[in-house]
Every structure is written in C-alpha cells, then in structure tokens.
Amino acid sequence: MSVAFVFPGQGSQAVGMGKSLAANFAAARQVFEEVDTALDSKLSAVIFEGPADTLTLTENAQPALMAVSLATFRVLEKEAGLKLEGDAQFVAGHSLGEYSALAAAGAFTVADAARLLRTRGQAMQKAVPVGAGAMAALIGLEFDAASAIAADAAQGEVCQAANDNGAGQVVVSGNKAAVERAVEIAKTRGAKRAMLLPVSAPFHCALMQPAADVMADALAKVTLKPPSVPVVANVLAKPVREPTEIVRALVAQVTGTVRWRESVGYMAGAGVTNFYEVGAGKVLSGLIKRLADGASASAIGSPEDIASFKAGRNT
C-alpha cells in the first residue's frame, strides 16, 4: 500500500473546524497555540467561534486552514503513530495547502507557515482593487478547451486558467470583464455550467504579480529544510525536495496554475493507492476519487476520523 497525504485549500474553511480536535487532544491545542503566538492574535477563537465573514477573509482563512491541517496531522503522529518518512510516498496541497504539506514534512515550522500565509493572504488581497478581478468555474470542459476559452476572452486583458482541478472542473481568473466574457463563451462551447465564484480577488493569474514579489521577499527570510518526503508542487505537478526549488515553486504558484489533476495523476502513476486528505472538508478526496482510478481517498478531520485511521493501521 502506497500512501500520500494531501492538504486542502481556500474554500474548505468553516467556523468550528478543528474545535473537537482541540477539545480532545493536547497535540492539536499546541498547534493552535503556536499559530496564535506566531500571528500575535487569537486566530483560534475565530476558527472555533467565528464570525464566518472574519474567518473567510483571505488573510485569516489561509493560516486558519493550515492550522487545522497541522493540528490534525500532529494528532495522527501522536495518537496513530504516523511517521511521514516511511509511511508516505508523497505529500501535496491545493494552493495554500502546499504550505501545510511543507510544514507537515518539516520543511518549515508551523509558526513560519502561519506568518507566511498571513503575508500571502494580505498580499493577494492587496494586489488587485476589490471588484477589478474575478474568478469563474467552467464545468464540463477539459483543461485545453477551458484554456482556449480564457485566451479568447482576454482581448488584451488578463484571463487564464487558474485551477485545473480535473474531472471537467477548471477555474479561470483575471480582469472582471474578461472573466465575464469567458463565462459567456463557455456557454456556447459545451460547458455544462459556467459561473462567477464568490471570491475577493483573482487568484493564480498574472494580476497577482505584486503578491508574488511580496512572497519572494518573505520566503527569502525564512529557513527552509529539505522535506522528509517529496512534496508534489502545484505549478510543476512533480516532486520538489531542494529548498531553493521549493521557494521558486511557491513564488510561481501565486501567479501560476494549480495543476491538481496532473499532480494527482503523477502520484497515482508513481504507485499511490491510498490518499488521505488532512484537515477541513472533503473537497480534495472527492476530486481524487474521480481522478485516480482504483485509488481510495478519505478525509481525516475529526476525532472519529483519527480513530478510524488508527484502527486501520492496527489491522
């Protein structure tokens, strides 16, 4: 059995996530305390109690999702005896989840991950004035068709494929008018659905270059270690282990496409048969079930999930 652990991205957040873990496990509480200390704020209170609109702010949602993922992961290590090196072939994460994957693999500390994601969230929000950008989901189209639609819709503005989630789900991002044109074009080219998404900024497109510059500076100030297992990078859809290569991939990720379909394909092609989504929600495990024929995918985010994972290791 070959295993990969994957970590969710923005959109999976929900008020109350991780609360039962913190109530039941000291290892989880310690992670939330580390994040609160690193950010000099009680982010854990927002995670557990809300309000939802505060949690959803990009600068909060990004470190919050990482905190829940790492709290879950630390409990797996403590309670289920998980040792990433030896137990897993790869780790990967969707967008901000790549930071969670890197922290789980020891490339940088939870505190550094929290500070980087706070900076990343703020920089991505500031890169484009509110209302100037947009993102849209094109459902029922393969990546090449969606990319062609984005190119045709650009008309001198920015419009590009931001997320290749697979299973006929591609997200485009860019200037608002261009993305709106992409939605209309997609409806004439066989999309089952094409709709604008309720996001606060056009992530993963060229408009995010100011944020990429901020992250290049921020990452230059952080000490990275080689991860204990290879991390499959979003923009490369292949593993990275060397710190300078990791930094390049994280900077490129801000403006580049999240190549999730290809990343899952790489891991499955390398023999991974069991995927575990660690943290909030079940978005990635749902996608993986449609992307990797014959592979199992399950989400771990509650004390019950931890117990089930532990029982499975002991059989």
- For residue 160 the two structure tokens come to 């590009």
Could you tell me the strand order of the sheet in which 238-240 lies?
238-240, 231-233, 90-93, 3-7, 274-278, 296-300
> Which positions are annotated as active-site residues?
95, 204
The residue among 113, 75, 78 whose CA lies nearest residue 97 is 113
Q: ∠ CA 132-163-197 to the nearest 5 degrees?
A: 45
Distance CA 155, CA 135 (A): 16
The residue among 250, 245, 257 whose CA lies nearest residue 212 is 250
Sequence-distant (≥ 6) Cβ neighbours of residue 78 within 8 angstroms: 25, 27
Distance CA 89, CA 105 (A): 11
Distance CA 122, CA 211 (A): 8
The residue among 92, 97, 100 whose CA lies nearest residue 3 is 92
CA 295 to chain centre: 20
CA 191 to chain centre: 25
Please, what's the b/e burial string for 47-78 (b: 16 or more CB within 10 A of its CB; e: otherwise)? bbeeeeebbbebbbbbbbbbbbbbbbbbbbee
Distance CA 61, CA 47 (A): 9
Residue 139: how many other CB atoms lie within 10 Å: 17
CA distances from 177 to 110, 128, 157, 280 (A): 39, 14, 8, 33
